[in-house]
Structure 1
Amino acid sequence: MAANRGPWAEAALGDVRPYAITGGRTRTKYALHLTTLLSTRPATRPGEFGIEAEQVRLRCSGAALSIAEIAALLHQPVQVIKVLVGDLLDAGALDVAAPRSIAAHNDTDLLEAVLVGLHNKL
């Protein structure tokens, strides 16, 4: 039998409502996008954050993940994840990972390969 979590819990799902997770906050000072990649900083001590923030931190410990991926994996709204990520960035627990440079690849070769593939499909 599930314990009664109070009025902030969804009766049917047993999940905590998003505003309870973020303390009612809906914004962060960081410009975070769905594709912003995050990774855990090595000096972070486990367990020093709330459960949801700790889940975000742990998900980013293996490889850099985007905001969208974290939200999907944790079944939370993107805005909740952005607030939690902002808190973790403030605490120095996460780093914004440098995106892979598109310029590092030869764009002409890639575009030609895509064009050839499209012509072959037609």
Structure 2
Amino acid sequence: MVSVTVKVHGKSLIIEPKGRVSKLAALKRRLAIPLDCVRKASTAHVPKSKIYRSIRVGGTALPPHYAGRFYNFDDGLIFCALSDPDKCVSLTLEGFRYKEIIVQVDDKEEVAAMVRKALAGI
């Protein structure tokens, strides 16, 4: 299972894959995203087309596990770390190398609320 931790540190959102296997699969130990680049946090179900209409640029794609960088034909470069699309938070970004980040977390509602609260404070 691919899962990450999300936390706010100063004016950045820090995303870290849990465990060695997830970090290896995603080819990332950590992502630091400036909060002013985050436009929206969503807990909506991630449609399969979001992943299936993408080309893996770096990382792992062994269905149903996806981790790493993908180029989506509709949205551009996205970062994914997920096994279950119902447990994901999607972050829409602007002015960052990824257009969207889709990550599986333990409590998607809690993480989305934390991100929204941090965005309201900037």
| Fold match by TM threshold 0.5 | no
TM-score by length of 1: 0.27
Larger Rg: 1
| TM-score using structure 2 length | 0.27
Q: Which has the higher helix share?
A: 1
The structure with more strand, counted as a fraction of residues: 2
